[in-house]
Structure 1
Amino acid sequence: MPTNPPKPIRVWITPPGPNSWKVIFLLEELKLNYEIISFRFDDVKKPPFININPNGRVPAIEDPNTDLTLWESGAIFQYIIEKYDADKRLTYDTSNERHLCNQWLHFQMSGQGPYYGQAGWFQHLHKEKIPSAVERYTNEIRRVLDVLENVLAAKSADQQWLVGNKMTFADMSFVPWNFRLSEVLVQSWDEVWEGKPHVRAWHERMIELPSWKRSMETRARLMDEQGLQWNGVPKGIDTFNEYEAKIAAGENTSQ
């Protein structure tokens, strides 16, 4: 069984963004002891969070069992796996496979996350429509999906995972951003996965996991508690630019 920390790992998040749920998904799948500190986006650049992460981005964790404070979701992933996945359920004992898992985690952080995020920004949140920017980042999403499709399609039927023949933390890291593709691309679920049957099957196996469903139930509750729309903007505010302007002016954005 995984090593379960006696004291809960504190996870600092703002509910809307995908990266926080990457970490929650992993903690849930390993059934680890943790607690969420949920706060508003308005406060990411203020104490106490700016004292936890000077970059002012979620997620961040504090592990009282090791006295470690850590930010950047990829670094948190690697830490949790190394420290608490003692039975190697989501990784491997062998050196090559561990490095391959890290390779895919780095691709998720450098390729998937930034490009999907920019596509979402220019599609939904930027104050003016820039068709060339939307096209560029939409094309990058398709390129990332093509990479994944080609790799998974080349594997045998019993090895439909990125590394070896089981789900690892590498596979899991892609779920939160892929889960939002219908919103980002403004397409139906079927349109999102057109020509990508292996990626779709891989993704849909993971979102059926109880750990993912529990994570999304928690997200829905926390979003509702903060009065947030699906895109993270508070109800009653039309655009993210308006939201940022209200934050800068020190106005209360809560409902």
Structure 2
Amino acid sequence: MSHGKHFTLYTNTIAPNGWKVVFVLEELGLTYESVYLNFDENEHKSPEFTKLNPNGRIPALVDHKNGDSVIWESDAIILYLADKYDTERRVSVSDEKERYSLIQWLFFQASGQGPYFGQAVWFLRSHPEQVPSAIERYRKEVLRVFSVLDSVLSKQEWLVGDKPTVADISFIPYNHGAFHLIIKDYAGVDVQKDYPAFFAWHQKLISRDSVKRAFAIQESLNKH
């Protein structure tokens, strides 16, 4: 593989965690090459990949300009990119209190949003039998996360400080998927009406040029 690019990103065409990293790479104008692992063929469990990420999950990022160093876990990757390469602080912060607030939201995304949203999609789309109680549980968790974000965003425009940061960006893929896969046909739920600040925030995020570019790449890869 040519290392003409700054980074190699090991990811998947659909899985949301890889795309949040793409959003940040695009936001910072960093050059990268994506290697799309085929989950159906268990490429993410191969010895070649688990040398990079022993957990056997995407994404993993190789920084060729930093001794081919490897970092995995999507929010850790995002924080690494922000700390090391966002020298103008376009989507990160320099104030210590704000930095810990940013890290706090990344932890909430990783522990409070991703797992519950992922389980909701699993039980709706992939589980071999319908388990209504599980579907209901995880749908309610999705709405709970929406409500947490809405309560904060009703008082301020962005999660940290007065500008969009990687904290905001980290929530995009799972929220976007939730609209289309989890709550699309959930009776009685109107996100725009019920969580107006959250909805407006998400619309602003997906209108960013970096996000539009990433979604365009994803769409082209997943055309059938």
Name which of structure 1's ranges 32-41 and 171-180 shifts more when overlaid on structure 2: 32-41
Q: 2: distance between equivalents of 1:52 and 1:161?
A: 34
Q: CA deviation at 1:92?
A: 1.4
Give the one of 33, 36, 54 matched to 2:34.
36
Summarize deviations over 1:42-99 as a string: whole Å, max 9, x none.
Answer: 2111132122111110010111111211110011011100110001111111100011
Q: 1:56: which partner in 2?
A: 56
Amino acid at match of 2:222: M
In structure 2, the residue corresponding to 1:69 is in which secondary structure? strand
Q: 2: distance between equivalents of 1:188 and 1:207?
A: 22
Q: 1:209: which partner in 2?
A: 208
Q: 2: distance between equivalents of 1:149 and 1:186?
A: 16
Name which of structure 1's ranges 32-41 and 195-204 shifts more when overlaid on structure 2: 32-41
Give the one of 18, 22, 25 matched to 2:23.
25
Asked if the contact 2:117/2:138 (under 8 Å) is kept, the reply is: yes
Asked if the contact 1:7/1:65 (under 8 Å) is kept, the reply is: no
Map of 1:89-104 to 2, 5 A cutoff? 89-104=90-105
Name which of structure 1's ranges 80-89 and 43-52 shifts more when overlaid on structure 2: 43-52
Q: CA deviation at 1:39?
A: 2.5
Asked if the contact 1:181/1:192 (under 8 Å) is kept, the reply is: no
Q: CA deviation at 1:184?
A: 2.5
Give the gaps of 5 or more residues in structure 1.
1-5, 228-255
Asked if the contact 2:139/2:182 (under 8 Å) is kept, the reply is: yes
In structure 2, the residue corresponding to 1:166 is in which secondary structure? coil
Asked if the contact 1:59/1:72 (under 8 Å) is kept, the reply is: yes
Asked if the contact 1:28/1:215 (under 8 Å) is kept, the reply is: yes
Q: CA deviation at 1:182?
A: 2.5
In structure 2, the residue corresponding to 1:53 is in which secondary structure? coil
Map of 1:130-209 to 2, 5 A cutoff? 130-155=131-156, 160-187=157-184, 191-209=190-208
Q: 2: distance between equivalents of 1:57 and 1:209?
A: 28
Q: 1: distance between equivalents of 2:191 and 2:33?
A: 34
Asked if the contact 2:139/2:183 (under 8 Å) is kept, the reply is: no
When Rg is computed on C-alpha atoms for both structures, the one with the higher figure is 1
Q: 2: distance between equivalents of 1:27 and 1:64?
A: 14
Summarize deviations over 1:15-47 as a string: whole Å, max 9, x none.
Answer: 111000000000001111111111211211113
TM-score (normalised: structure 2)? 0.92
Q: 2: distance between equivalents of 1:193 and 1:167?
A: 20
Q: 1:123: which partner in 2?
A: 124
* Residue 5 of structure 2 corresponds to residue 10 of structure 1: no
Amino acid at match of 2:26: E
Q: CA deviation at 1:221?
A: 2.2
Amino acid at match of 2:17: N
In structure 2, the residue corresponding to 1:110 is in which secondary structure? helix
Q: 1: distance between equivalents of 2:193 and 2:122?
A: 23
Q: CA deviation at 1:154?
A: 2.1
What CA RMSD, in Å, does the superposition of the two structures yield over aligned residues? 1.7
Name which of structure 1's ranges 179-188 and 50-59 shifts more when overlaid on structure 2: 179-188
Asked if the contact 2:12/2:18 (under 8 Å) is kept, the reply is: yes
Amino acid at match of 2:167: A
Amino acid at match of 1:14: N
Q: 1: distance between equivalents of 2:10 and 2:104?
A: 26
